[in-house]
C-alpha cells in the first residue's frame, strides 16, 4: 500500500477547498491511499490569515517531513502557504523546497515545475538577479541536469532530450553579450553528455525560442539558469496544470503551482486543477518507485 500525505497549507487560503475538490475529481488507483497531515481547523475565516493558521501550516509541514523521512508516508503533496506568516514563526527558509531538502538531509536537490506543455528545472531559484551570473557554475548546471534527467526517466522517458538555456540573450551570440555561455554553460553541456549516457543535452539555446520548440515536442524538458527564465513560460502555458516538485528527495514531494490566493478564498471560484495534477504526479512517482 502506498500512502500520499497532503497538508492543508494555510487554511485561510484556497488550500482546503482546492484539496477537497481535487480529491473529489480523482479516482485513486488500487493500492494507493491518501492521508491528510495536520488537523482541519475550526472557525477559520476565509481570506484572513492569522497566527493560528500559520502555526497549523508550519506544524503540518514538520509532521509531514517527519513522516516522509520515516517512511510512514510514501510521498507528500503540500498545500499553498503564506511565507510571511511562516517567517513570523521562525521559518528560516526561502520556501517549502528548501525546507524539505533540509529536513530530509538532502543537499543535492533542485526545483522543477512540470505541466501539460512544459517541464523546467532551475539552476538558481530565489536569489537576486544580480547574483545569478556568479551562482551559475559548471558544477551547478551539471548537478541539476543530472537530477532533471533522472526525473524524466522516472516518468518514462528512457532517453530524455533536455534543452539547456543560455544565460544571456541569444545565448551570448558568440560572445557579443557576455562569455558565460561559451565558458560555463557549453562545457557543462559537454560534461553532462559525457556522464549521462541515458539522456541527450543540447545547447546553450536562446531562451526566447527554445520553449516554443519544447512545446512542439522537440525536447522533454528545459534546464533553465534562473527563476523567471523558466517560470514565466511555464506559468503562461501551464498555470492551471503546473506542479512544483522537489528533485533529489528520497521520496516525492509535489505542490500546486500557485499560492494561497487569500483574495478569492471561500468564494468558490478557485480552480483545483493544479492541486489535482500535484496529487496525480505524486501517485505516478510512487508507483514508479
Between helix 51-70 and helix 96-103 the angle, nearest 10°, is 40
| Band of pLDDT at residue 197, cut at 50, 70 and 90 | confident
If we measure between CA atoms, which residue out of 154, 159, 101 comes closest to residue 287? Answer: 154
Q: Which residues contact 5 (CB under 8 A, 6 or more apart)?
A: 34, 35, 36, 37, 64, 67, 68, 73, 75, 76, 77
Cα–Cα distance for residue pair 248/64, rounded to 1 Å: 17
Could you tell me the three cell numbers for 94? 526561502
- Which residue's entry shows cell 497549507? 9
C-alpha dihedral sign at 231, 236, 240, 241 = negative
If we measure between CA atoms, which residue out of 165, 135, 133, 134 comes closest to residue 148? Answer: 165
pLDDT digits (tens, 9 = 90+) for 127-160: 999 999 999 999 999 999 999 999 999 999 999 9
CB atoms within 10 A of CB 56: 22
For residue 109, pLDDT beyond 90: yes
Percent of the chain past pLDDT 70, that is, above it, reads 100
User: Which helix (H) or strand (E) covers residue 175, if one does?
Assistant: none
Residue 241's pLDDT is: 94
pLDDT digits (tens, 9 = 90+) for 49-80: 999 999 999 999 999 999 999 999 999 999 99
Mean pLDDT of the chain: 96
- Which residue's entry shows cell 538558481? 124
Cα–Cα distance for residue pair 154/44, rounded to 1 Å: 39
Q: Which residues contact 156 (CB under 8 A, 6 or more apart)?
A: 288
For residue 246, pLDDT beyond 90: yes
Residue 288's pLDDT is: 87
Q: What is the average pLDDT across 196-224?
A: 96
Contact 105, 66 (CB under 8 A): no
User: Which helix (H) or strand (E) covers residue 190, if one does?
Assistant: helix 186-195
Q: What is the average pLDDT across 18-39?
A: 96
Residue 289's pLDDT is: 79
Residue 196's pLDDT is: 82
Q: What is the average pLDDT across 165-193?
A: 93
Contact 163, 222 (CB under 8 A): yes
| Band of pLDDT at residue 111, cut at 50, 70 and 90 | very high
Residue 282's pLDDT is: 98
* More confident call, 289 vs 279: 279
Residue 172's pLDDT is: 86
Cα–Cα distance for residue pair 202/192, rounded to 1 Å: 10
For residue 122, pLDDT beyond 90: yes
For residue 243, pLDDT beyond 90: yes
For residue 223, pLDDT beyond 90: yes
Residue 177's pLDDT is: 83
In angstroms, the Cα distances linking 16 to 20, 25, 53, 100, 275 are 6, 14, 12, 21, 10
Amino acid at each position: 500500500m502506498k500512502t500520499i500525505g497532503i497538508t492543508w497549507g494555510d487554511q485561510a487560503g484556497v488550500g482546503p477547498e482546492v484539496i477537497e475538490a481535487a480529491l473529489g475529481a480523482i479516482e485513486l488507483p488500487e493500492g494507493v491511499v491518501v492521508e491528510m497531515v495536520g488537523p482541519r481547523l475550526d472557525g477559520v475565516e476565509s481570506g484572513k490569515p492569522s497566527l493560528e493558521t500559520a502555526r497549523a501550516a508550519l506544524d503540518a509541514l514538520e509532521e509531514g517531513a517527519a513522516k516522509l523521512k520515516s517512511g510512514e508516508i510514501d510521498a507528500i503533496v503540500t498545500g499553498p502557504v503564506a511565507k510571511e506568516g511562516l517567517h513570523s514563526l521562525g521559518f528560516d527558509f526561502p520556501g517549502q523546497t528548501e525546507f524539505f531538502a533540509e529536513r530530509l538531509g538532502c543537499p543535492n536537490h533542485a526545483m522543477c515545475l512540470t505541466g501539460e506543455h512544459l517541464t523546467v528545472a532551475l539552476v538558481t531559484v530565489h536569489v537576486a538577479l544580480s547574483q545569478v551570473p556568479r551562482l551559475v557554475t559548471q558544477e551547478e548546471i551539471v548537478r541539476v541536469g543530472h537530477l532533471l534527467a533522472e526525473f524524466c526517466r522516472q516518468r518514462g522517458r528512457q532517453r530524455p532530450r533536455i534543452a539547456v538555456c543560455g544565460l544571456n540573450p541569444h545565448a551570448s551570440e558568440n560572445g557579443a553579450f557576455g562569455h558565460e555561455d561559451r565558458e560555463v554553460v557549453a562545457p557543462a553541456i559537454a560534461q553532462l553528455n559525457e556522464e549521462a549516457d541515458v539522456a541527450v543535452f543540447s545547447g546553450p539555446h536562446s531562451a526566447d525560442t527554445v520553449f516554443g520548440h519544447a512545446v512542439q515536442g522537440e525536447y522533454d524538458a528545459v534546464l533553465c539558469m534562473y527563476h523567471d527564465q523558466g517560470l514565466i513560460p511555464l506559468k503562461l502555458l501551464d498555470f492551471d496544470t503546473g506542479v512544483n516538485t522537489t528533485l533529489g528527495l528520497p521520496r516525492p514531494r509535489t505542490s500546486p503551482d500557485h499560492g494561497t490566493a487569500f483574495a478569492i478564498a471561500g468564494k468558490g471560484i478557485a480552480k483545483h486543477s493544479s492541486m489535482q495534477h500535484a496529487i496525480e504526479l505524486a501517485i505516478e512517482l510512487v508507483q514508479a518507485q
